[in-house]
Amino acid sequence: MGSNRTIEGRRNELIHKLIEFEQFKKDGKQLFELTLNELKNEYLKLQANFHPHSGFESIRWKKF
């Protein structure tokens, strides 16, 4: 029972974070209809797009 609360808590946290990015739907579905994995993937995509170090001019490590 405790793990269900944890999962729901994480889903709610991700939904709130996505709403902060003004994301309210994905593929015609409301955020509360998405699974935890779908919410995680959406958040990671947004984070990669908006993170200040993810752009073209950001520092990139080279293998020597």
Helix orientation angle between 2-20 and 36-50, rounded to the nearest 10 degrees: 30
pLDDT interval class at 25 (50, 70, 90): very high
Domain map (residue ranges) of the chain? 2-50
CA-to-CA distance for 38 and 36, rounded, in angstroms?
A: 5
DSSP one-letter string for 24-42 = -EETTEEGGGS-HHHHHHH
Structure-token pair, residue 7? 């999962």
pLDDT of 63 > 60? The answer is yes
CA-to-CA distance for 64 and 62, rounded, in angstroms?
A: 6
pLDDT of 64 > 70? The answer is no
CB neighbours (10 Å) of residue 21?
13
Supply the pLDDT for residue 28: 93
